C-alpha cells in the first residue's frame, strides 16, 4: 500500500486524502496538511514510484486510482480527496471509477484532458546530476543549475534527493516515469464511466496555463457539479505560491 503521512486525529469530520503531483511527495504538503488537520484527520500519501511508496513498472491513472482506493478502504468510510497535477488526475479517475469512496473532490490546477508537454527533460536533468561526494543540498542545487535554470523548480526536485543515503539516491522510479510520460501527461478514455455527481472544486492558478477556458467543457461533462475558481497571482504550484489563499478556498469548500 502507499506510504501515508497522517496529520491530526480522527474526528467526526471526514478525513482528507491528499495526492501530490509528478516528482512530488507527501512531505511537500506538510504545512498545509498540518493546518487543515485542526478540524479533521489529513492523510498525505506518496504516490507509486515516488518517495516512500513502492516502485512498479505500471504508472497510469487507473492504477493510481486503485492505490488511492486501497488507502480509503482501510479508513472504512468515504473521504474528501484533494489532488494536484498528476495527483489531480488520479483523484479524478478515483471519483469516476469508485464514486462511493469520494465525498468531496478537489482538483488543483489540472483538467481531465491530455497535455502536449513532457517533463522528460527534468528526468534527464536529475539522472544526469553528478552525485559523487555530494552531501549538501546547496551543492546539489549548484550542480543541478547547470541543466535547470529555474531555482524554485530545482528546490522542488531536490526534495526527492536522499542525501542521507550513501551514496545519495533519488527517491523516484525514473524508468517507469519516463517510459510512461505520455500516460502521465495524457488522460485515459473514460467514456464508459458515468459522471461524478458529487461536489467538486477545480482550483487553478491565475497565472497558470494548465486549466484553459476550453477545458471547462471537459470538466463539466465529467463533473457536472464542479465549481471552477482561480487564485490570482498563483502559478501551477498554487498551494506553495499562495498557501493561505489556497487553504482558505479548501476550507470554504469542505465546510459548506
Q: What pLDDT digit, counting tens, does each position of 54-99 carry? A: 999 999 999 999 999 999 999 999 999 999 999 999 999 999 999 9
Query: The pTM is what?
Result: 0.97
Return the closest-CA partner of residue 254 out of 100, 40, 52: 40
- The arithmetic mean of pLDDT across residues 211-235, rounded, is 96
Digit-coded pLDDT (tens) for 143-169: 999 999 999 999 999 999 999 998 999
Q: What is the mean pLDDT of residues 29-38?
A: 96
Give the pLDDT score at 191.
Answer: 97
The catalytic residues are 85, 175, 236
Q: Does residue 11 surpass a pLDDT of 90?
A: no
Alpha helices (H) in the chain, listed in sequence order: 30-36, 61-75, 86-97, 120-127, 137-144, 151-158, 174-179, 181-185, 216-222, 238-241, 243-255
pLDDT value at 43 more than 90: yes
Output the pLDDT for position 256.
Answer: 83
The fraction of the chain above a pLDDT of 70, given in percent, is 100
CA 188 vs CA 1, 96, 103, 150, 193: distances in Å: 23, 12, 23, 31, 11
For 41-62, what is the mean pLDDT? 98
Taken in order of first residue, the domains within the chain and their CATH numbers are: 4-115+186-255 (3.40.50.1820), 120-172 (no CATH)
Amino acid at each position: 500500500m502507499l506510504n501515508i503521512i497522517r496529520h491530526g486525529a480522527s474526528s467526526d469530520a471526514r478525513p482528507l486524502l491528499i495526492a501530490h503531483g509528478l516528482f512530488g511527495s507527501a512531505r511537500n504538503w506538510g504545512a498545509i496538511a498540518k493546518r487543515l488537520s485542526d478540524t479533521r484527520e489529513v492523510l498525505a500519501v506518496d504516490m507509486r514510484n515516488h518517495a516512500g511508496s513502492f516502485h512498479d513498472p505500471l504508472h497510469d491513472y487507473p492504477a493510481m486510482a486503485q492505490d488511492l482506493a486501497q488507502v480509503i478502504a482501510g479508513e472504512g468510510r468515504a473521504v474528501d480527496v484533494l489532488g494536484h497535477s498528476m495527483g489531480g488526475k488520479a483523484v479524478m479517475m478515483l471519483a469516476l471509477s469508485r464514486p462511493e469512496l469520494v465525498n468531496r473532490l478537489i482538483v488543483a490546477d489540472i483538467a481531465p484532458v491530455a497535455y502536449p508537454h513532457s517533463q522528460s527533460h527534468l528526468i534527464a536533468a536529475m539522472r544526469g546530476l553528478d552525485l559523487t561526494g555530494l552531501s549538501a543540498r546547496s551543492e546539489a542545487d549548484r550542480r543541478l543549475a547547470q541543466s535547470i535554470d529555474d531555482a524554485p523548480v530545482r528546490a522542488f526536485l531536490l526534495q526527492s534527493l536522499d542525501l542521507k543515503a550513501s551514496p545519495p539516491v533519488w527517491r523516484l522510479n525514473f524508468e517507469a516515469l519516463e517510459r510512461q510520460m505520455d500516460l502521465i501527461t495524457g488522460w485515459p478514455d473514460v467514456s464508459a464511466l458515468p459522471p461524478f455527481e458529487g461536489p467538486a472544486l477545480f482550483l487553478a492558478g491565475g497565472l497558470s496555463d494548465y486549466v484553459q477556458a476550453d477545458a471547462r467543457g471537459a470538466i463539466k461533462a465529467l463533473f457536472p457539479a464542479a465549481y471552477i475558481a482561480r487564485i490570482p497571482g498563483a502559478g501551477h504550484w498554487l498551494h506553495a505560491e499562495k498557501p493561505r489563499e489556497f487553504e482558505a478556498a479548501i476550507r470554504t469548500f469542505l465546510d459548506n
